Structure 1
Amino acid sequence: MICAALPAAAASLQATDESRRITVILRYDDCSAVSPTDIELRVLESVRRHGLNCVFAAIPQVHVHDSGYKGVQAAQGADEQENCAEEVTDVRPLPQEKSALLREFVRSGTLEIAQHGYEHRRLQNASVRGGNTELFGRGLELQRQMLASGKAALEEWSGRKVTSFVPPFNSYDNDTLAVLEELGFLNFSAGMLDAVPEYCKLSVLPHTCNLLQLKDAVARARVSSSAQPMVMPLFHPFDFTEYDSRKGCISLDEFDSLMAWLAAQHDVDVVTMQQATTQGKNGTMTGNAVQTDASAVSLYDVTRHMAHRCFMLFSLHPRVAASAVPVGARLVLPQPEEAAFLRLRLLLATIAGYLVAFVMGLVAGRLSGTQTLFEPQWVAGILIVVAGLWCLMLLRRRSEIYYNAARLTVFFFSCIAGVLL
């Protein structure tokens, strides 16, 4: 399957720079009753000033003290926090004043409202990555009630049909996807490593990078073999230094400069999730205008996402494999052919790493000369060497412990084989 995709990937490399359009989707999460309105307005004003648009993933009614959302500490004083600590049922819908401000940007085309769960509750579940979820494992009927209620609330104050969904904590299950299709959602956005069943009809738009990686992601997209690569930077209130001076990574002025740079890129189309879905299913995007094409196929279907997911899983391999792909390849959603090509390169580099370990072990075993496998001195010596190498690798790159252990195991047994031959 991978090899079959190589000719298509090679052919796509012939695409000219003029034919390649880079789709960028700006996704801001956790807009709610307790998120910083002043920062959000500055973000929207910057986006509108430069002729761009963005997506706000809004929480219909935030469950303040169980959401995992840190904005409540900034919104309340210390005394109020202490008094409210026991109010575990503190649920706040978006205030009318804030919804009116956001509605202005929705009407002007600057903003798309995506649904971000229901209450953004932080429920512990060991079955999900990260351990937190609001939706996973809660059953079809309960999820139907929650998401339908949240969708109705967002549509009422925004005055627009909500067709995009962002699961809290990037956590969901097959019941979630079934409910989204049932309720008329067109797409959803989670992480690049999240699995999606092949029968899912929704467009899949995973986030690919953060704001600081945006320029590198666009640069990588320009040399991608995909004709229509997609980049989605994800950011939150706490990414801004004006909100959190300790954890923030970008100021509002720097964000404005980044938007100015983005607007100046001639080969970049900044669109909303809804526009990207329309682009994929009904036509192509020129600037912010949609040109329908009845023959167009979905650009963001499950096939594309899963091909990229396979590549991303392989990209978790250590540097010996990761060095086989271009820098920044993980910051862009490529088309399936390029994802399969990159995955093959990673696979071959990983195999090469094991082969090197095997050959080194075999040579070491052969060079042991007349030593007998069961002589205590030889056994102790080889175990000390292997243990020493393992510890050195572990201390140097702790994230590669499993891969290094596997390579050393190959080395050890090939060394024994070399002695026995």
Structure 2
Amino acid sequence: MPLAFPLVEPGEPGSELTAGPGGDAIVRRSVLPGGVRVLTERMPGVRSATVGAWVGVGSRDERDGHHGSTHFLEHLLFKGTTERSAMDIAEAFDAVGGEANAATGKEHTCYYARVLDSDLPMAVDVITDMVTSARLDADELETERGVILEELAMNDDDPSDVVHEQFTATVLGAHALGRPIGGTPDTIRAVPRAAVWDHYREHYDPRTLVVTAAGGVDHDALCAQVLGALEVGGWDTTTSVAPIGRRVGSVAPGALEGVPTQGSHVTVRRTTEQANVIIGGLGLTATDPRRFTLSVLNAVLGGGMSSRLFQEIREKRGLAYSTYSFASGHADTGIFGLYAGCTPSKVDEVTALLETEWERLASDGITPGELARSIGQLSGGLVLGMEDSGSRMSRLGKAELVHGELTDLEESLELVRAVTAEQVRELAVELAARPRSVVRIGPFGD
């Protein structure tokens, strides 16, 4: 059974379980005073360690006037604290051959570092200092505003990025999940320092913080290091309070306020050599028990070189270099789509083929051979994905913030292997029956 992560009984020691091939990796979890959660996975024989500081806030949590603040903070926390300059932060990791970075999502943000196990205390100290004591200096903010605008411009020059952003906005509409994670040029230019500061003070709190680490890590030592660093940062670690509750999807994925109830066709005109097209609609939530079935469906339809889309559109007809299907889930909804990049004159033919393969999967199901191949592909990917400390650190963070439980590798493999062809067909029918949108980017006329 998966290890459940309760949000109650703060200050009590966390549960332990044995996980991983051969039972040689130990996962532990503790809820510390103040509501901070610490999860570790010790990997014997590994000389590196990856640590992440997760905050359960993403772009969907931005209030009006704060849009773009979450991504702004991802940049600004590296620009200096009350104790360290931006150069101090950079030098701390460069001096030990380590790596530090951050990632902003729609529902969480993570600041992480990968270092030698002997340098983990330094990494914990620096990352925690960034999270608790960012200065958000006005001059640095204006400098970084320009950097973020350049980042957005770079993404806007990539039509494959544009088509994915437009597809998300089309399917999720006015809902907060439909907004770009990084904001738009207009929101980044408009957001004032006061709004970014308010967003930081509102959401960065011991009750929202989750620290995860994997590799050569000692759980008890890490808990002591985190508590000490938080105290230095001025966060309250003396009060026993429960962590902030997890997001819970309380309505059907298609019943969210602002999400369109009908599909639509959108064309964005760009002077490009290729057309980029996505068809799709709403998918499954991140915690839907059928997510393993969706993984198999996705693998068969567009998840590899033996997939139907790759074989039919690229190998047999030579109409595209890149074609695939994809899915992403959130607490209360998700999206599912099929993508291809092709010559603009072939876009109608390629779009029809995407539709045909999707419908054929729903009407005819999958073959025993496709089921076996997809299960093998997913099983191998799960095992290979667990080979480094960074992947395991991320798995712990998502288990805590998204699922509320940790499913170990063997249990995950069993869930994938248990998927049947009939379950895949039933899910394909359900997805194909939902409102469908088509988004195209390319040099199209009226």
TM range (shorter): under 0.3
The TM-score normalised by the length of structure 1 is 0.23
Larger radius of gyration: 1
Higher share of residues assigned strand: 2
Which gives a bigger RCO, structure 1 or 2 (Cα 8 Å, sep 6+)? 2
Higher share of residues assigned helix: 1
